[in-house]
């Protein structure tokens, strides 16, 4: 587990009342930098914790802080009682707006299974972002990594009742035979509290009992030694967000740096895990071309991934980027292009860098990858349709058939999707698997 020094630790009464859950809490507490007792709380205490104790005060972009503290830790349990909407409305009435929908759910004990309707009619961004509709698995909200561009610091909320979770998950999987892979968490890095928390291991070993179904872990961490001997049976895929040495050390200070992530990936591949990489987010720092070339070379020297994805830094306007990043670290030409493209990119989520800059970045990474592997699938991650049209001839895949790092049908070593991703995705009512 990471050596953390949280300003406070809270434990819901449901955690303290169950010996299994309390044992998990006690192991995490024992591994902290300094001894600390967990503060018990009940649901009715949440409004005061938010308004009077600053529970959410640290939920700001990390790069906007002069000094980034470790997050508050909060331990809770999932409830399977059908009261999610009621409890979320209650907390909003009592405490005001919460920092993010998924955190709001976690605070009242819900949100373990999330339907992600990417590119379906109900997706408001369907015309400006290419992704895959699927069920995603959530267990935590928040992060300890202190990446400057991220706003998931300040509070790490984690559930602990993994046994109850797996029981419902099995029903979810049975109800959705079209979905082959399940991304476990994109609101946290779930390796950071392990093995003391003891929740990721049981999920890996549960997937190890399945046939044709895969768990996907997305991480920047070095913390993998504890998982090398787990009975995963090749059914867990680990995707590392990878970045060049300068970005990893300066802007992602508590993650594993480039070399540490690659060493962790090498260990996991040797232990039989399938490994993948996402260059995400690619921040065009000074000397980004040299950093990319060095990272790709080391990547192939140490490992053999089955998929590589590319994604530029985006999802915010220029002024917000300047608030989160020290722009003196960026490539002057890329920064100048962003300054001059405010109107060009105003109607897309793929900003602040204009399309020509992003395409240059993608093409450079692709050329470096092809020096070492001519066949590994390379895709764009959460880019827009226009960029996919531009890059498809070079990538050798399209927005409809590409295999990515965490899509619901990106099974190990698959080269192309076998079915239309937006037509096979059928959602069963949540009551069929969560409330039984």
User: How do the residues of the chain divide into helix, strand and coil, expressed in percent and rounded to 5?
Assistant: 35, 15, 50
Q: What is the CATH number of the domain that holds 285?
A: 3.80.30.30
Amino acid 267: pLDDT: 98
- Write out the chain's pLDDT in tens, 436 residues: 999 999 999 999 999 999 999 999 999 999 999 989 999 999 999 999 999 999 999 999 999 999 999 999 999 999 999 999 999 999 999 999 888 999 999 999 999 999 999 999 999 999 999 999 999 999 999 999 999 999 999 999 999 999 999 999 999 999 999 999 999 999 999 999 999 999 999 999 999 999 999 999 999 999 999 999 999 999 999 999 999 999 999 999 999 999 999 999 999 999 999 999 999 999 999 999 999 999 999 999 999 999 999 999 999 999 999 999 999 999 999 999 999 999 999 999 999 999 999 999 999 999 999 999 999 999 999 999 999 999 999 999 999 999 999 999 999 999 999 999 999 999 998 777 887 5
Computed on alpha carbons and rounded to an integer, the radius of gyration of the chain in Å comes to 21
Number of H helices, E strands in the chain: 14, 13
Separation of alpha carbons 404 and 132, rounded Å: 9
Q: Is residue 3 part of a domain?
A: no
Backbone phi, psi, residue 312, to 5°: -70, 160
Separation of alpha carbons 360 and 292, rounded Å: 12
User: Number of C-alpha atoms within 13 angstroms, CB side, residue 122?
Assistant: 6
Q: Is residue 348 part of a domain?
A: yes
Amino acid 229: pLDDT: 98
Q: Is residue 233 part of a domain?
A: yes
Q: Is residue 1 part of a domain?
A: no
Which residues form the domain of 151?
Answer: 9-432
Q: Is residue 4 part of a domain?
A: no
The number of folded domains in the chain is 1
Amino acid 436: pLDDT: 59
Tokens describing residue 344: 């060009």
Q: Is residue 236 part of a domain?
A: yes
Neighbouring residues of 48: CB distance < 8 A, sequence distance ≥ 6? none
Query: How far is residue 186 from each of residues 114, 241, 331, 426, measured CA to CA in Å?
Result: 11, 11, 28, 21
Report the greatest alpha carbon distance in the chain: 59
8 A C-beta contact, residue 133 and residue 118: yes
């Amino acid at each position: 587990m990471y050596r953390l020094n949280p300003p406070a630790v809270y434990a819901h009464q449901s955690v303290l009342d169950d010996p299994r859950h309390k044992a998990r809490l006690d192991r995490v507490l024992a591994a902290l930098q300094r001894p600390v007792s967990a503060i018990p709380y009940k649901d009715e205490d949440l409004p005061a914790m938010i308004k009077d104790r600053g529970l959410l005060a640290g939920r700001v972009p990390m790069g906007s802080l002069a000094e980034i503290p470790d997050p508050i830790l909060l331990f809770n349990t999932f409830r399977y009682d059908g009261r999610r909407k009621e409890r979320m409305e209650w907390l909003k009435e009592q405490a005001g707006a919460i920092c993010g929908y998924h955190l709001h759910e976690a605070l009242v004990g819900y949100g373990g299974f999330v339907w992600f309707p990417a590119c379906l009619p109900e997706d408001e961004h369907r015309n400006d972002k290419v992704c895959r509709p699927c069920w995603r698995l959530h267990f935590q909200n928040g992060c300890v990594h202190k990446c400057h561009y991220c706003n998931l610091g300040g509070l790490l909320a984690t559930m602990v009742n993994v046994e109850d979770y797996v029981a419902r998950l099995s029903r979810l999987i049975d109800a959705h035979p079209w979905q082959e892979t399940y991304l476990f968490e994109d609101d946290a890095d779930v390796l950071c509290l392990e093995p003391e928390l003891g929740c990721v291991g049981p999920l890996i070993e549960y997937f190890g009992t399945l046939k044709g179904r895969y768990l996907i872990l997305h991480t920047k961490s070095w913390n993998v030694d504890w998982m090398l001997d787990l009975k995963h049976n090749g059914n867990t895929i680990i995707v590392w967000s990878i970045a060049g040495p300068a970005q990893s050390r300066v802007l992602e200070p508590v993650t594993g740096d480039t070399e540490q992530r690659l060493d962790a990936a090498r260990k996991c591949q040797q232990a039989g895990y399938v490994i993948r990489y996402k260059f995400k987010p690619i921040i065009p720092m000074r000397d980004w071309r040299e950093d990319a070339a060095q990272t790709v070379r080391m990547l192939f020297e140490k490992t053999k991934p089955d998929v590589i994805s590319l994604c530029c830094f985006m999802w915010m306007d220029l002024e917000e980027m300047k608030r989160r990043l020290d722009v003196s670290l960026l490539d002057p030409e890329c920064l100048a292009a962003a300054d001059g493209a405010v109107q060009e990119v105003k109607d897309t989520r793929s900003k602040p860098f204009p399309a020509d800059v992003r395409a240059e970045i993608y093409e450079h990474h692709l050329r470096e990858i092809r020096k070492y592997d001519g066949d590994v699938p390379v895709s764009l991650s959460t880019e827009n349709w226009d960029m996919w049209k531009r890059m498809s001839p070079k990538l050798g895949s399209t927005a409809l058939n590409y295999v990515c790092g965490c899509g619901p049908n990106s099974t190990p070593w698959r080269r192309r999707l076998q079915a239309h991703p937006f037509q096979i995705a059928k959602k069963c009512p949540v009551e069929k698997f969560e409330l039984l």
